[in-house]
Structure 1
Amino acid sequence: MVIRHNIPVYEICWLNYAQGGVIGTLYEPENKEELHRLCCMLYSEHKSFEIIGHTSNVYFTPSFNANIIVSTRKVRFWQIYDDYIYAECGVSVRQLSREMVEKGIQGFEGLVDLPGTVAASVYGNASCFACSINSLLKTAEILLPSGDVVEMSPEELKLEQRSSAIKRGEVEGVILSVRLKKEVGDPLSLKRLAEVNHIKRKTTQPSPKDNLGSIYKGEQKRTILGYVIFAAAKIYRGILKTFGIDLPSISIVLFMLGKKSLIPYVSDWNRFIWKDKESHDAFWEYHRIHQLLFTNNEFEIEIK
């Protein structure tokens, strides 16, 4: 067990531009048994704590501070058995998926570039290219505040779009490990499909550096104002093209709204880039603009 005190948040944060914020005590268990004992102790002493993995879906605001954080990054043992795959909470989805594709086990071919841990994928019901850990999930091993360990099925986790009973706070506990379905497929076909998915993600999405993936849940449906603004932007873009100028629609909309300063930060309407120290203020301005243009503004990312 590695224990560190007074750690700046930026040391454990996915984003390069984390500012402010200190973690009083950071625990880094090195196996599932240490994680189990630690969380049982914290629960029994009624100490409030937070669990983190790779934090690739977590936005730590500059004002965030925490007394105790437990990191699962080192709890990453996994094993293939005859009829299932066992993976502990800190296992990288990307690394596990690439290994499974190589071994001809299907259901992972869309996850070969998905950042984050297995536990985070279950917690947030993450998916990519019609694949998800929860679609393969047999059971998740959950440590409850009582100290009991239970096995929960996908049905018991009450999975919804980018959500679970644990994320919604309906179930309190720590995901220790998962058992996943082992479905054998054709290795060559899976490798080809994984490569297609890899190229598609690489060419249609920015690098995972400095961003947290999709900011909002669900389809981005426009408000009435949004329809008006986008229609005007389409006309304006057409006029610019007659002069040999082709600008992205998103840049034109932000320019029309007097928010030209946001252009470097907004990759698309559901992805924000934290590229410098001004990103934190720019993010909330981006959110206000999103609320004007789209009806669905429920965050998919975790904000702390």
Structure 2
Amino acid sequence: MKSKHTVKIVLTFLILTFIVYFNIHPIPTLIKSVPTIAIIDSNSGLSNTENSVKSLEEAGDSYYVKFNIKENDLYSGVDFELYDDKGSQIPIKEFKKNSDGTCEVWFLGEAAKKYQLVYNNQTNDKEYSVDFHTPTQNSDTENPSQVVETYIKKHLQDDVTAALYDNIINQSSLTTDIFSNVKPYYTPSDEEKKAIFQAFWDTYIKDWKDWKVEMTEAGSSSHSFTITYHWDEPNMEELNRKIDERENQLKKELGNNYKAVFQKIIAEIPTIIKNTPPEKNKEKKTNRIYLYKDELQNLRNGTYYRGTLWIPNEFKETLSKLYP
């Protein structure tokens, strides 16, 4: 009896020892985790940045499915296949592996349709699949380029006012103050400043329409737009020559009464601007802007809150040269 009791104690000790050991030092090969595909999102968009025209033509049929694979990160694009609801294989246009661990499969498909994503696990030679549906309406059917263009047109005057009047004409920084040579003798009033801005706006910007917006990329989270534009800039050298010429004439007429000289010059600058037409040129320029999808939606519904979306830098650069 004693020997049996001893054997039980030894066996119990060995079992407890094994349990404790494998809790501290688990053997990975004993339990193998099964990979699972988790769908995060399925939507429409563009991924091709090389040929914007082709991309825009395909916008109505281009979709992606975003997902991650749990318990496995050793995979590449060749491990995936895509099938429609009839079992026909759909070519994968592009496979993306994102920095956050998610993946995207891009393909040409249809709205409101069921698809199956298949993952071929090379480690255990097994297939894992998951079903998903494309959205009922392609989110890019409302031309994003038109959304951006409409917003810029609607807010152009307000944005130009903020950039030119608020930040250049009506600011007080000595480094960029266009009235720095006048202020020792005369300080322009708000009405006079507004008149100068209004003349600049009416003469050079108000009827400006030579620009267009083109969407060049639309991914799962953001859009890229290229703005091509042409602007006949004012000849600032000629404009300033006229102002200087008038200033010298007034000094001869009014002598050392510099306050009267500069007060009259400030009052006449709007007329000088209106009488100096822009200088014709054929140069086309491009700018690029990026918008997250929520920002694009905010443009659509009028809740965009990040200030000026776009105006040409030339507007600010030109006005900054006024009356040096």
Query: Which protein has the bigger helix share?
Result: 2
Please indicate, yes or no, whether the TM-score normalized by the shorter chain is above 0.5: no
TM-score (norm 2): 0.20
